[in-house]
Amino acid sequence: MSEPLGVAVLGAGRMGADHVRRLGETVGGARVVAVADPDTARAEAAVAGREGVAVYGETLAALGAPGVEAVLVASPDAAHEEALLAACARGLPVFCEKPLDPAAALGVVEAEARLGRRLIQVGFMRRYDAEYAALKALLDSGDLGRPLLLRCVHRNVSSPPHFTSSMLISSSMSHEIDAARWLLGREITAVTVVRPTPSRDAPAGLLDPQLVLLETAGGAVVDVEVFVNCGFGYEVRCEAVCERGSARIGDARAMVVRAAGRAHEDVAQDYVVRFADAYDREVRAWVAAARGGGAVGPSAWDGYAAAAVAEAGVASLRAGGRVTVDLAGRPALYGESGDDA
Instruction: Encode pLDDT of 83-100 as tens digits.
Output: 999 999 999 999 999 878
**Residues 133-150, mean pLDDT to the nearest whole number:** 97
Segment 40-78, tens digit of pLDDT: 999 999 999 999 999 999 988 999 999 999 999 999 888
**Residues 186-200, mean pLDDT to the nearest whole number:** 97
Number of domains in the chain: 1
161 in any annotated domain = no
197 in any annotated domain = no
Residue 336 CB-density burial (10 A; 0-12 exposed, 13-18 middle, 19+ buried): exposed
Helices (H) then strands (E): counts for the chain:
10, 15
152 in any annotated domain = no
CATH code of the domain covering residue 20? 3.40.50.720
Could you tell me the CA-to-CA distances from 60 to 10, 75, 158, 266 in Å, in that order?
A: 8, 11, 32, 41
CB 151 within 8 A of CB 239: yes
**Residues 15-41, mean pLDDT to the nearest whole number:** 96
Q: What is the DSSP string of 291-334?
A: HTT---SS-HHHHHHHHHHHHHHHHHHHH-SEEE--PPPPPGGG
The pLDDT of residue 265 is 80
322 in any annotated domain = no
10 in any annotated domain = yes
Arithmetic mean of pLDDT over the chain: 94
285 in any annotated domain = yes
The pLDDT of residue 337 is 45
The pLDDT of residue 98 is 82
**Residues 12-29, mean pLDDT to the nearest whole number:** 95
Domain of 119, in residue numbers: 5-126+277-302
- The gap between the terminal CA atoms of the chain, to the nearest Å, is 32
188 in any annotated domain = no
CB 62 within 8 A of CB 54: yes
| Helical (H) or strand (E) element with 227 | strand 221-227
The pLDDT of residue 338 is 42
The pLDDT of residue 270 is 84
Segment 206-260, tens digit of pLDDT: 999 999 999 999 999 999 999 999 999 999 999 999 999 999 999 876 777 777 8
Bridge partners of residue 147, in order along the sequence = 242
Instruction: Give SS3 for 116.
Output: coil
Q: Where are the beta strands (DSSP E) in 106-197?
A: 120-122, 147-155, 188-194
Band of residue 336 on the pLDDT scale cut at 50, 70, 90:
low
25 in any annotated domain = yes
